[in-house]
Amino acid sequence: MAEHVLEVRDLRARVAEDESEILMGVDLTLGPGQIHALMGPNGSGKSTLAKVIAGHPGYDVTGGDVLYDGESILEWEPDERARRGIFLAFQYPSEIPGVTISNFLRTAVNARRGEGNEVDVFEFQKELRERMGLLEMDADFADRYVNEGFSGGEKKRNEILQMAVLRPRLAVMDETDSGLDIDALKIVSNGVNTLSKEDAELGVLLITHYKRILNYIEPDRVHVMIGGRIVESGGPELAEKLEEHGYDWLREELASPT
Amino acid sequence: MADGVTTAREAGETEAGVAGSRLAAFLETLDEPATLLERRRRAWERYTELPMPTRKSEEWRYTDLSRLDPESHVPFAPESGEEENRDAGDLPEQAARLLEGMEARSAVAVRVDGRTLHRRLDPALAERGVVFAPIRRVARERPELLAERLYTSDVSPMEEKLWSLHVAMLTGGDVLYVPDGVRVPEPVHVLRWAGEGDRLLSTHTLLVTGREAEVTWVEEYLSPDLESPLLSLSGLELFAGDGATVHYLSLQRYGRGVKHFSIQHLLAGRDTRLSGLNVNLGGDLARDDVTSHLEGPGSESEMLALWFGDGTQHFDHHTLQHHAAPHAYSDLLYKGALTDSARSVFRGLIRVDRGAQLTDAYQTNRNLLLSKHCHATTLPNLEIEADDVRCSHGATVGQVDEGMLFYLMSRGLTRLTAERLLVFGFFDEVLERVPVEGVRERLRDAIGSKIGL
C-alpha cells in the first residue's frame, strides 16, 4: 500500500469547452485514515479539483498528475476510478427519473463486485436498510427515484448513503454541507464520522466554504485554495482563523512580494 | 419458393405454391362454420382487390411493404376448435417454462404455432358466465357472442389490406366474454409461441365485456430467432360495455426474423375505463395500428406503448384517439428507446368529432436515442371539429443526458450499464401505470433481458 491515498502533483486543468484555466498547479497529499478540509472562496477551483479527481469529462488535465494509492489515475474512466474505490459526493447530484435508489445502488454494488459475483438480493436489502438507519432515513426512501423531488438535505443524505453502501477508500465531498439545516448537518457529519471510524484506511477530502461542518467533523489538515492553487495549509486552527478573518489576509499575502 | 412447397403439407395441399396463389388454395382446404368461412372468402376478395400500400401514402411512408410477399409464407393450419388441454407438465419445454409464475392467473392459454395446447379458466368464473374459448368453438356454440362484433371494426383504408389478409388467413383466435357486473380478479394471459419460419401466423383476439365488468388481458408473442421469416398478423377487437374497466396489454418479444403487424380497435361505451399497453421488443419489423374509439360519453382511454430497438429493428406505431362522444378523456404516452441502427416511427392523431364537446385529450411521444445511427420519427397530430375541448400533443427526441451518465458512472457503472439503467428509468413512467404487480414485473423482466440489465 502506498503512503498516500491521494497525491495531487502540480495539477493543471481547464474547462474542456472554453479552455479556461482553473487549476494552476495544485499540490496536495492525503494519507490513509486522514480527513482533510479544502476551503476557499467561490471560484477558486475546489469543485473543479473534485471533478477532475472523479474523472469528469468536462475538464482537460493539462499538466501534473493525480495518484491514488500511488498509481496515476488520469487515464482511467470515471467508472473504473469508482470501482477502484474513489467516491465523489456531488455538490449537485443528478436526478435519475424512474430509477429507484435501491435498484441504482444494487447495480452499483454489482458493478464493483464484478460479473458472476453479484450480491445476494436479500443481503443487499439488509445492508441497505442498516445503512439507511445510520442516516436516519425512512425505509421507503429506498423505493424513491434517485434524487427526484428530493429536498437539498435529502440529496446530500443520499450521497452519504451511497458512500456508506459503496465503502470507498477515498471520498471527495464537494460542499456536502451546503444547503443543510443544522439537524441534517449533524446527521451527515455523524454518517461521515461513523464511516471514517469503520474504515481506518478511508481518506476524506472535505470541500467546504464554511467552518460550520468542521465543528462536527474534525479535520487532520486544512488547506486553502485561491486562484487554482493551494496557498496555505495548516491544522484545524487554520479554519478558525479563516472563520474570523475571511480570505482577504491570504489574498494580501499572495499579492505582496514577500 | 421450393422451401415453402415442402412445408405446405399442413394446409393440406402441395401444389398450390407452384400453381399460383398458395393462399387462395389454403382457403379451399378449410372446413369450418359457414359464417367464418364466408368472412374469410369476403376478406380474401377484398385483399386481392386492394393494392399493397406503398410509401407514397402518409400512413406507410416510413415502413416499406414492397418487399413483403405474403405468398412466400405458408399459413399455419387453422385451429379446429377442438383444443388439446395438456397439463403444464406435458407441454413442450419452452411453453411449460412460459407458464411459470402464471398459477395465479384467472385464465391462461398457450398456443404453439397457432394451436392451443393448454387452456384454463377459473371454474368459478365459468360458472358466472365468463367465456374463454377459441373463436371457432364460440362460432359453433355461442354464435351470438360473435354476431355484430367479430371483424366489424372500422378499419381505415390504409389498414384494410393487411386486415383482410389477417381475416382470410386466420390461424386461430381467442374470445373472452365477461358478462355484466363480473369482475375477473386476476389477469387473463395468452401466450402465443411460434417456432417455425416461412410461415404466416394470424391470430385474433375478441374481447367483449358487459356493463360494469372488469378484466385485464395480457397477450404475449414469442418465438426463437428464425432464419427464414415469419409473417405474424394479429388483430384485436375490444368492446367494453358501459361502466366497464378493461386493461389490454400486449408484449411482443419475438425473436429475429419476424415481421409482426398488429391492428387493434378498442371501443369504449359510456363511462368505460380502457387502457392499452403495447410493448415491442422483438422481431425485425413491428407495426402497430391502434385505434381507441370513445363512443360513450364519460369514457376514458389510456394508450401506452414502450419499445426498445437494437440492430436494424424497425418499429412503426400509428394511433388514433377518436372522440365521438362528449365528456370523454384520452391520454396517450408512447415511449421508445433505440440503439445501433434501429428505427422507429410514431404517427398519432387525436380526432374530435363535431359533437364531442368537453373532450380532454393528450398525446405524448418521447424518444431516447443511444447511438448515432438510430433514428426516430415522430408525427403527432390533431384534428378537431368541436370548439370546446382541451387537447394537447407533444413529442421529443433526445439523447441520454451526459450529466446523468457521469453521475451513474461515478458510482462504478460502465457507460453501457449506465445507459441501460437510464433506459429502464425512462420506461418506468409507463410501467408504473400497469395495474397488476405480477404483470408489471413480467414486463420489467422482459425489458431487462432485452436491454441487458
B410 and B387 in a common domain: no
Across chain B, mean pLDDT equals 92
Q: Are B40 and B54 in contact (CB under 8 A)?
A: no
Report how far apart, in Å, the C-alpha atoms of A145 and of each of A100, A153, A158 are.
4, 15, 11
Q: Which residue of A has its CA nearest to B429?
A: A98
B161 and B92 in a common domain: yes
Task: Report yes or no on B20 lying in a domain.
Answer: no
Strand partners, B384: B352
Q: What are the tens digits of pLDDT across the range B80-98? A: 877 778 887 788 787 788 8
Report how far apart, in Å, the C-alpha atoms of B36 and of each of B169, B177, B238 are.
11, 18, 19
CB nearest to A108's CB, from B401, B402, B411: B411
DSSP secondary structure string for all residues of B340-395: TT-EEEEEEEEEE-TT-TT-EEEEEEEEEE-SSS-EEEEEEEEEE--SS-EEEEEE
Tell me, what's the pLDDT at B293?
97
B335 and B197 in a common domain: yes
B417 touches chain A (CB under 8 A): yes
Task: Give the 3-state secondary structure of A22-49.
Answer: EEEEEEEEECCCCEEEEECCCCCCHHHH
For residue A233 the three cell numbers come to 495549509
Q: Is the pLDDT of residue A235 over 60?
A: yes
Q: Are the Cβ atoms of B415 and A77 closer than 8 angstroms?
A: yes
Q: Is the pLDDT of residue B435 over 60?
A: yes
Phi, psi of B390 (to 5 degrees): -125, 115
Q: How far is A42 from chain B (nearest CA, A)?
A: 22
Task: Report yes or no on B23 lying in a domain.
Answer: no
Which residue type does B312 have? T
B71 touches chain A (CB under 8 A): no
Residue B104 burial (CB count, 10 A) = 12
The 3-state DSSP class for residue B335 equals strand
Q: What share of chain A is helix, strand, coil (3-state, %, to 5)?
A: 40, 25, 35
- Give contacts of B426 with chain A, Cβ < 8 Å: 97-98
Q: What are the tens digits of pLDDT across the range B219-260? A: 999 999 999 999 999 999 999 999 999 999 999 999 999 999
Segment A219-242 shows an average pLDDT of 95
Q: Is the pLDDT of residue B15 over 60?
A: no
Tell me, what's the pLDDT at A258?
57
Q: Are the Cβ atoms of B404 and A55 closer than 8 angstroms?
A: no
Tell me, what's the pLDDT at A257?
65
Tell me, what's the pLDDT at A159?
97
Report how far apart, in Å, the C-alpha atoms of B318 and of each of B128, B283, B366 are.
37, 18, 14
Segment B118-128 shows an average pLDDT of 96
B365 and B409 in a common domain: no
Tell me, what's the pLDDT at B2?
37
* A72 sits in which H/E element: strand A71-72
- Give contacts of A56 with chain B, Cβ < 8 Å: 406
Tell me, what's the pLDDT at B180?
98
B412 and B347 in a common domain: no
* A103 sits in which H/E element: helix A101-113
B410 and B371 in a common domain: no
Report how far apart, in Å, the C-alpha atoms of A60 and of each of A92, B111, B246, B355 are.
21, 59, 56, 63
B422 and B337 in a common domain: no
B239 and B156 in a common domain: yes
A189: Cβ contacts below 8 Å, ≥ 6 apart: A213, A216, A217
Q: What are the tens digits of pLDDT across the range A158-201? A: 999 999 999 999 999 999 998 899 999 999 999 999 999 999 99
Segment B363-385 shows an average pLDDT of 97
Among the three residues B401, B417, B444, which one is the final residue of a domain in this structure? B401
Among residues B363, B421, B374, the alpha carbon closest in space to that of B397 is found at B374
Q: Are B376 and B369 in contact (CB under 8 A)?
A: yes
* B250 sits in which H/E element: strand B245-253
B78 and B167 in a common domain: yes
Q: Are the Cβ atoms of A57 and B403 closer than 8 angstroms?
A: no
Tell me, what's the pLDDT at B100?
85
Q: Is the pLDDT of residue A206 over 70?
A: yes
B437 touches chain A (CB under 8 A): no
Q: Are the Cβ atoms of A78 and B406 closer than 8 angstroms?
A: yes
Number of domains present in the structure of chain B: 2
Segment B334-346 shows an average pLDDT of 98
Q: Is the pLDDT of residue A232 over 90?
A: yes
Task: Report yes or no on B38 lying in a domain.
Answer: no
The ipTM estimated for the assembled molecules is 0.96
Q: Is the pLDDT of residue B8 over 50?
A: no
pLDDT more than 90, % of chain A: 86
DSSP secondary structure string for all residues of A104-157: HHHHHHHHHH-TT-PPPHHHHHHHHHHHHHHTT--GGGGGSBTTTT--HHHHHH
Q: Are the Cβ atoms of A82 and B408 closer than 8 angstroms?
A: no
Segment B28-50 shows an average pLDDT of 91
The 3-state DSSP class for residue A75 equals coil
Mutation pick from A96, A119, A174 vs chain B, by most beta carbons of B within 10 Å, is: A96
d(CA A252, CA A106): 50
- Give contacts of B417 with chain A, Cβ < 8 Å: 107, 111
Size of interface A-B (CB pairs under 8 A): 81
Among the three residues B401, B424, B440, which one is the final residue of a domain in this structure? B401
B415 and B394 in a common domain: no
Q: Is the pLDDT of residue B65 over 80?
A: yes
Overall fold of domain A6-92+168-255: Rossmann fold (3.40.50)
Q: What are the tens digits of pLDDT across the range A1-24? A: 678 999 999 999 999 999 999 999
> Cα B95–B100–B102 angle (5° rounding)?
105
Q: Are the Cβ atoms of A93 and B425 closer than 8 angstroms?
A: no
Which residue type does B335 have? K
Strand partners, A9: A65
CB nearest to B410's CB, from A54, A95, A145: A54
A interface with B, Cβ–Cβ < 8 A, is: 54-57, 77-79, 81-83, 87-88, 90, 93-99, 103-105, 107-108, 111-112, 145, 162, 166
DSSP character at residue B49: H
Tell me, what's the pLDDT at B3?
38
* Structural domain harbouring B428: 402-453
Which residue type does B222 have? L
Task: Report yes or no on B225 lying in a domain.
Answer: yes
Q: Which residue has the cell 453521475?
A: B407
Q: Are the Cβ atoms of A97 and B429 closer than 8 angstroms?
A: yes
Give the start-to-end residue ranges of the domains of chain A.
6-92+168-255
Report the sign of the C-alpha dihedral through residues B160, B162, B163, B168, in that order: positive
d(CA A249, CA A228): 17
Tell me, what's the pLDDT at B277?
98
B177 and B298 in a common domain: yes
Segment A144-165 shows an average pLDDT of 95
B415 and B328 in a common domain: no
Q: Are the Cβ atoms of A94 and B417 closer than 8 angstroms?
A: no
Task: Report yes or no on B256 lying in a domain.
Answer: yes
Tell me, what's the pLDDT at B80?
81
